[in-house]
Amino acid sequence: MDVLLVEDDDAIASPLVAGLERHGFSVRHVSTGHAALAAPLADVVLLDLGLPDVDGFEVCRQLRAASDVPIIVVSARTDETDRVVGLELGADDYVVKPFGLRELVARIRAVTRRAGGPGVDGDVPATQQIGELEIDRRTHRVTVQGVEVALTPKEFGLLVVLADDPGAVVTRHDILSEVWDPHWYGPTRTLDVHVASLRRKLGHPDWVQTVRSVGYRLGEVELT
């Protein structure tokens, strides 16, 4: 799926491009409204409002007038009026900065599904079975040996990040970026606390394995 990212702040754009590409998206980044309007048509547009040349609302209006491409406004503006104006001008969704990468990916998939657009290459299925562990991304339900496990949103997000590629190591930085925030500046200890809680709820520590000085990976546990 082709994503057009319209964002003038490279400190935000660079990690966002990298994160989206890890999820299988092809991303083109432009930093001005004129460049966005001149860019080839994408499958979805992520549009910042605070652009240096053209007001983001005007870019949204012109994009909508020219095509039915799904548009997600990604802005630091939290005022309800801005949300309403963006949606009335044709935006399909409005995400407030700062945001979690996984939330944004979910929003992209949702608006493209509603628009009948393409899926993302390499997507894991909505329901994933890993040994005795079953993860349903659509309903946010997790079961172990058929017994439902109650997870917090962050614990579920952590599990899903690891389950995207079972057995592969995911760095602490990538987990914090995807589950918490692309610009996470809080204590990294919060990740360890959530990992410990997730292990406890899943019933065995080997479901989430530590790779020292790197990160974590999802294991497969044989339960009796």
Say which residues have a Cβ less than 8 Å from residue 20's Cβ, sequence separation at least 6. Answer: 3, 5, 27, 101, 104, 105
Would you state the pLDDT for residue 213?
85
Domain definitions of the chain by residue range: 2-114, 127-218
- pTM here is 0.59
Q: Is CATH 3.30.70.3040 the classification given to domain 127-218?
A: no
**Percent of the chain's residues with pLDDT above 70:** 89
**Rg of the chain, C-alpha, whole Å:** 19
CB 38 within 8 A of CB 64: no
Q: Per residue in 89-127, pLDDT tens?
A: 999 889 888 887 877 888 888 787 666 555 444 455 678
Q: Categorize the per-residue pLDDT at 166 as very low, low, confident or very high, splitting at 50, 70 and 90.
A: confident
pLDDT at 63 over 70: yes
Average pLDDT rounded to a whole number, residues 1-6: 94
CB 59 within 8 A of CB 68: no
Amino acid at the residue 87? L
pLDDT at 217 over 60: yes
pLDDT at 184 over 90: no
Q: Which CATH architecture has domain 2-114?
A: 3-Layer(aba) Sandwich (3.40)
pLDDT at 137 over 90: no
Would you state the pLDDT for residue 27?
96
Cα separation of 195 and 124, whole Å?
Answer: 22
**Would you state the structure tokens that stand for residue 96, as one six-digit string?**
């407030």
Would you state the pLDDT for residue 46?
97
Q: Which of the two residues, 56 and 112, has the higher pLDDT score?
A: 56
Average pLDDT rounded to a whole number, residues 79-83: 88
Would you state the pLDDT for residue 190?
85
Angstrom distances, CA of residue 40 to CA of 28, 32, 92, 129? 10, 14, 19, 39
